[in-house]
Amino acid sequence: MKERILKTFIEEIKTTGIRFTMEDLAKKMGISKRTLYQYFTSKAEILEEIIDKTFKEIDEETEKITQDNNLDLISKIKKKKGYFCPPLTSPRRVLPPPFFFFFFFLTYF
């Protein structure tokens, strides 16, 4: 359920921006507010979870690239760059790219 909430939250931000309530999110998911609040107490907590997951994903990918002994330094840099700047049509990501959060914070705070 948590993953479904995170995914729906991201979709809602992409379509309507941050101007939606927890009630709106619950309605979009077809669940009660009570159910939503069992998992997250606020939009800020949901966003924090998304950011934490994104940074964890970045750390894991960085570690994989760094430890790959089949790649030289230039190849590692290119692979890392490709990870941070995937094509907009890349199906690889469920979470938004890291720079999404930078722009999100600029508009929200």
Q: pLDDT tens across 42-93, in order?
A: 999 999 999 888 888 888 888 888 888 888 877 777 777 665 555 555 555 5
State the first-to-last Cα distance of the chain, in angstroms, to the nearest integer: 28
Q: 41: which DSSP letter? A: S
The number of beta carbons lying within 10 Å of the beta carbon of residue 47 is 20
CA distances from 107 to 21, 43, 84, 95 (A): 17, 15, 21, 19
Closest among 10, 82, 91 to 46, alpha carbons compared: 10
- Residue 10 has a CB neighbour count (10 Å cut-off) of 17
| List of domains in the chain | 2-108 (1.10.357.10)
Give yes or no for residue 109 having a pLDDT over 50: no
Q: Give the list of residues 6+ apart from residue 39 with CB closer than 8 angstroms, or none.
A: 1, 2, 5
0.85 exceeded by pTM = no
Tokens of 81: 């760059």
